[in-house]
Chains A and B, each alone.
Chain A
């Protein structure tokens, strides 16, 4: 992890907290997922409510729409579409389903959870970021700013960082390490190789195992057993 590329936050312990900043790619990925979710919800509500209102499979607006049409068919999907981000972000203090899937989260520039005011401000400024179409202003701003933030983030003092909730920790065998049979980096490589063993191509995994073990054995099962006995015990 390169500390110069992330957000570095002072800590009372004297050891800085390093947060890897999400760039335009991760932000766009999260946005696209969220856009699909809110569009699907919006369309689904509209179609179902319109069919119920019209008492038929016809989903177009009636010639003279009444209050019920606007209150039950038009207003809720509009609210879902336009309030999706602020409501999710305020309720979860910086997450949306799309951000969770992309492994990113909104934090304040101090590294903590953003305030409600900040979250609302960053959403109000979507009006500017979405100009002229397809979030062009926001996307360009994320490309040219140091912390890859859009104008809404600049106004709110927030940014997006990567979160690795499920970051695996290699199972280190202390005995093997102490016995100088395996260094920490090799232990991690072995652990990862065993973890991905079934998904790797036969030739590729055999070549990697042979390199680590300095062994020319061609049998997959033997190579795997030797790797396991090397002392990692697989991922924990």
Chain B
């Protein structure tokens, strides 16, 4: 048999198997679409995968530009994806996330959290000093309406609930805070500079506004307004900044991995913390909508709420809430 005849015979043999390919593709599609509970289908997929791999190798050589190849490549890729799809258990995945993974991320980000917090405190002090020394500089940080209100001896938060209901206020605040938190994280993509900017700007604004209200004898009132929700809100801002800084550092100092791989790892790991931050901001938004503007709550109640919620944040981020320490299980360390 000459080479051409041999090749033709091989092609014929290969194409005679087209019904097998169709059966394999149908089985994979049924399993992928969860349209079958048939155990036989699942058992057959492993055999189908081997058979398709064998035929893909042949068709690539014998019929490289054919429809048969396109069909086989697709069927093979689908079988590969079906076989390699990890089991999906949302309950245990969530438990593992909050009990093991987020505490591990917090430990990994500890230096970044320290630096982000230090930067935030520094900018708060700077903002406070600037406006305390030169009150006119408040125009850089606050709107004219806010300045006019404070100069009249009132806080802009007074009577807030007469204008907007608590539910709406909460929704607006938590949405805004979550967006700022996500921005602080994503801005790390600009080699950490975006994160520094967001952290720094927020710190300056907080310090400046506190200084301005203090100058008009409203500092205590502002503290009373802020303390219930602010403990966690400000902490979350620092945590988001730390996550963004980690993303930025991964780009600046990728280490042994490529820059893209390092960025991917840092973004995925620190993203878990952002999820926890978003959940904490929902609680913060509710407190800011229902407790902070309501004059019924005295200072000690607000302090108790603020400190309790901050402790809850610590318990959540360390995994203690889900029994990480009780079980004596050390959370896995990050690479």
- Interaction A to B: yes
Chain A positions within 8 Å of B, measured between CB atoms, are 1, 9, 11, 13-15, 17-19, 65-67, 70-71, 75, 93, 107, 110-113, 115-118, 120-121, 124-125, 127-128, 151, 154-157, 163-165, 167-172, 174, 177-178, 180, 183-185, 188, 192, 236
- Among B80-88, B114-122, B229-237, the one that faces the other chain is B80-88
Contact with A along B1-38 (1 / 0, CB 8 A): 00000001001100110100110000001000000000
- Pairwise interchain contact A127-B12, C-beta atoms closer than 8 A: no
Given contacts A151-B189, A188-B66, contact A156 B29 (CB under 8 A): no
Chain B positions within 8 Å of A, measured between CB atoms, are 8, 11-12, 15-16, 18, 21-22, 29, 49-50, 53-54, 56-57, 63, 65-71, 73-74, 76-78, 80-81, 84-86, 93, 165, 167-168, 171, 182-183, 185-187, 189, 247, 260, 263-264, 267-268, 271-272, 274-275
Given contacts A116-B93, A184-B66, contact A155 B171 (CB under 8 A): no
- Pairwise interchain contact A117-B53, C-beta atoms closer than 8 A: no
Given contacts A70-B168, A169-B71, contact A121 B267 (CB under 8 A): yes
Q: A90 CB to closest chain B CB, in angstroms?
A: 10
Point out the residues of chain A lying under 8 angstroms from B21, CB to CB: 169
- Pairwise interchain contact A14-B53, C-beta atoms closer than 8 A: yes
- Pairwise interchain contact A168-B268, C-beta atoms closer than 8 A: no
Q: A85 CB to closest chain B CB, in angstroms?
A: 14
Point out the residues of chain A lying under 8 angstroms from B15, CB to CB: 172, 174, 177, 184
- Pairwise interchain contact A17-B171, C-beta atoms closer than 8 A: no
Point out the residues of chain B lying under 8 angstroms from A164, CB to CB: 70-71, 74
Point out the residues of chain A lying under 8 angstroms from B189, CB to CB: 125, 128, 151, 155
A sample of 6 more A-B contacts (CB under 8 A), given A116-B93, A125-B186, A128-B189, is A70-B171, A117-B268, A125-B267, A155-B247, A177-B11, A180-B8
- Pairwise interchain contact B264-A155, C-beta atoms closer than 8 A: yes
C-alpha spacing A117/B267, complex, angstroms: 10
Point out the residues of chain B lying under 8 angstroms from A184, CB to CB: 11, 15, 63, 66, 68
Q: B100 CB to closest chain A CB, in angstroms?
A: 14
- Pairwise interchain contact B185-A124, C-beta atoms closer than 8 A: yes
Given contacts A112-B85, A188-B67, contact A11 B168 (CB under 8 A): no
- Pairwise interchain contact B264-A178, C-beta atoms closer than 8 A: no
C-alpha spacing A156/B69, complex, angstroms: 31
C-alpha spacing A192/B67, complex, angstroms: 10
Point out the residues of chain B lying under 8 angstroms from A13, CB to CB: 49-50, 53-54
- Pairwise interchain contact A185-B66, C-beta atoms closer than 8 A: yes
Point out the residues of chain B lying under 8 angstroms from A66, CB to CB: 165
Point out the residues of chain A lying under 8 angstroms from B183, CB to CB: 127
Q: B1 CB to closest chain A CB, in angstroms?
A: 13
Q: A174 CB to closest chain B CB, in angstroms?
A: 5
Q: B185 CB to closest chain A CB, in angstroms?
A: 7
C-alpha spacing A168/B54, complex, angstroms: 20
Given contacts A13-B53, A111-B77, A174-B16, contact A124 B165 (CB under 8 A): no
Q: A110 CB to closest chain B CB, in angstroms?
A: 7
- Pairwise interchain contact A111-B81, C-beta atoms closer than 8 A: yes
- Pairwise interchain contact A70-B84, C-beta atoms closer than 8 A: no
Point out the residues of chain A lying under 8 angstroms from B49, CB to CB: 13
- Pairwise interchain contact B22-A169, C-beta atoms closer than 8 A: yes
Given contacts A157-B264, A177-B12, contact A120 B53 (CB under 8 A): no
- Pairwise interchain contact A167-B70, C-beta atoms closer than 8 A: yes
Q: B111 CB to closest chain A CB, in angstroms?
A: 21
Point out the residues of chain B lying under 8 angstroms from A178, CB to CB: 12
- Pairwise interchain contact B275-A120, C-beta atoms closer than 8 A: yes
Point out the residues of chain A lying under 8 angstroms from B187, CB to CB: 128
Point out the residues of chain A lying under 8 angstroms from B167, CB to CB: 67, 70-71
Q: A92 CB to closest chain B CB, in angstroms?
A: 10
Point out the residues of chain B lying under 8 angstroms from A188, CB to CB: 66-68
10 tightest A-B contacts by CB?
A: A13-B53, A155-B267, A15-B53, A172-B15, A70-B168, A67-B165, A169-B71, A112-B84, A177-B12, A121-B271
C-alpha spacing A214/B187, complex, angstroms: 65
Please list 21 pairs of residues, one from A and one from B, whose beta carbons are closer than 8 Å in the complex, sorted by A's number. Answer: A11-B53, A13-B50, A15-B53, A17-B76, A93-B85, A107-B81, A116-B93, A121-B271, A124-B182, A124-B186, A124-B274, A154-B260, A154-B263, A155-B267, A156-B267, A167-B70, A169-B18, A169-B22, A177-B16, A185-B65, A185-B66
